Amino acid sequence: MADLISSWPNKLDAVPPKYCIPMHERPADPVQIGERIPVIDLGKAMGEERPVVVQELMKAFEEYGFFQVINHGVSDDLMKEAMKVYKEFFSLPAEEKASYAKDAANNTARGAATLYTSSAKHYDSEEHRYWRDVLEHSANLDGKDKVTWPDNPPRYREVIGSYSDEVRKLSKIILGLVAEGLGLEAGFFDKELGQRMLVNHYPACPDPSLTLGVGGHCDPNLITIIQQEVYGLQLLKDDKWIGVDPIPGAFVVNSGLPITVISNGKLASVAHRVVTNTTHSRTSIGTFICPDDIVGPAKALLGPDNPPRFKSFKWGEEFMPHYLSKKSVYHASLEPFKIDA
């Protein structure tokens, strides 16, 4: 059974050896925040300032692969309620959480809700663990998968059902702006895209300098929409880790590797990681929007001046196995699909 950190009976004074990550990955300064990533006011996207918002978003995805979004349409109450539900979930008794847990070495199952600690596939040795527990399940449009979701706290399915619907709407607005910014037809991303909830819980840690909540990686999906309230997320810009400070009521949005392929290299997917802290546990609610099964450079972008830089591939069958084996090497999972200039 997975050894959930949030189920340990006692608070520890020291980090157990298997949670101490290799020296070269340890965060030199876990609390650094530095420059602020772009903040986009989505309220302006429906009015005459829409072209400005499109430009801001494109610039953010080109330069940072990240932005924060405010006035996004998801109500504050729903966001607070979802965060409460997840915090309650992670503080359920160990026996109850154990019923969702599975072997950390085999955490790729699709569909059913699963709970696991994050063993670091990222390192040569499977011995290393990150300092987080993860709850993961699909949240698809037809709602049929709801029966596999947790039913405790008792309002879980109702609250997270509304939350995942609202965040899906937000993802469509964001992807519509991305399509517009790239010069693609408005409905380019307007499909029934897969959606997953991936919720991280990082307990307070006795020594953040020895651990990471999750190691540096790029996301394998199209875009990720993160709700956070405690600092911990950092992204790699110009070879330096910079922090993403939580803005109350905002979401953090980042572009995953398929966006780089679809945009034929124009938009970035940027490596990010999570540092721990000694005083607060941190829960982050990730909504992962997945691409269509076939991913390739958008045809409308290609021409003599912009030849394809990637081959098309099947996301689930061809890309994901590479991704899962090369996760720590940031963009390495795209290598087999690159076309040399």
Ligand X SMILES: O=C(O)CCC(=O)C(=O)O
- What residue has token string 């300098």? 209
Residues 292/229, Cβ–Cβ less than 8 Å: no
Residues 315/293, Cβ–Cβ less than 8 Å: yes
- Would residue 93 be called left, alpha or beta, if left means φ above 0 and alpha means ψ between -120 and 50 degrees? beta
**Would you count residue 274 as binding ligand X (CB under 6 A)?**
yes
Among 200, 260, 263, 276, binds ligand X (CB under 6 A): 200
End-to-end Cα separation, the chain, in angstroms: 48
Distance CA 21, CA 165 (A): 37
Options 137-145, 147-155, 181-189, 225-233: segment touching ligand X (CB under 6 A): 225-233
Q: What minimum distance in Å lies between the beta carbon of 281 and ligand X?
A: 12
Task: Identify what 274 binds: Fe ion, ligand X, none; CB under 5 to 8 Å per kind.
Answer: ligand X
| Closest residue to ligand X: CB criterion | 284
* Tokens coding 167: 């965040």
Q: What minimum distance in Å lies between the beta carbon of 328 and ligand X?
A: 13
| Residue among 7 and 164 whose Cβ is closer to Fe ion | 164
Among 159, 160, 226, 259, binds ligand X (CB under 6 A): 226
The most distant pair of C-alpha atoms in the chain lies apart, rounded to whole Å, by 63
**Would you count residue 284 as binding ligand X (CB under 6 A)?**
yes
146-159 burial code (b ≥16 CB/10 A, e <16): beebbeebeebbeb
DSSP conformation letters of 241-277: EEE----TT-EEEEE-HHHHHHTTTSS----EEE---
**Would you count residue 219 as binding ligand X (CB under 6 A)?**
yes
Site pattern 203..232 for Fe ion (x: CB under 5 A): ----------------x-------------
Among 5, 15, 104, 198, binds ligand X (CB under 6 A): 198
Q: What minimum distance in Å lies between the beta carbon of 274 and Fe ion?
A: 8
Among 146, 237, 272, 309, binds ligand X (CB under 6 A): 272
- Residue ranges that bind ligand X, judged by CB under 6 A: 198, 200, 214, 219, 226, 228, 233, 272, 274, 284, 286
- Residue ranges that bind Fe ion, judged by CB under 5 A: 219
